Amino acid sequence: MDWKKAVKPVGEFADFKKSAPRTQKTAAEVVSAAIEKQIELFNKPKAEGRRWFEVKGENVAFSIRYANSPLKLVGDEKTVVVPKAQFVEVLQSIKADVEKGEFKAQLDAGEAAVRKRSATMAATRKKK
């Protein structure tokens, strides 16, 4: 069989055309979605996923991360502990603060680092 006669360009098929361009999410949107994922992982302990928290006894230690770095939550503290019974409520409150702009300076710095890293990677790929 001559496979070159059997295949056709993907552009000829509407089902395979690229969808609308992705809209870039803000750092706050990314962190908010990630916090929701952490709540889901906490409620389903057997589910797969990277956890930002560790449960020991009746307490939970956790951090909130963006661009692979933890945010400063209280003063310079990046990891804090809360009673297990209040964990979900605390995460929802932090999410609300993220959406209100409470962590804007930290998220902007993380976003700048992500853009710089992406630009460096793109330049490296171009050289190859």
Per-domain residue ranges for the chain? Answer: 27-127
DSSP 59: E
How much is the pLDDT for 20? Answer: 61
Residues 66 and 30: beta-carbon distance below 8 Å = yes
Cα(49)–Cα(34) distance, integer angstroms: 11
Higher pLDDT, 21 or 104: 104
Percent of the residues in the chain that have a pLDDT greater than 90, as a whole number: 63
Q: Write the pLDDT tens digit of every residue in 73-122.
A: 999 999 999 999 999 999 999 999 999 999 999 999 998 888 888 888 88
The SS3 call for residue 55 is strand
The SS3 call for residue 6 is helix
Least Cα distance to 30 among 76, 64, 78, 81 occurs for 64
Q: Indicate the burial class of 62 (C-beta count within 10 angstroms; 0-12, 13-18, 19 or more).
A: buried
Residue 6 has pLDDT above 80, yes or no: yes
How much is the pLDDT for 117? Answer: 83
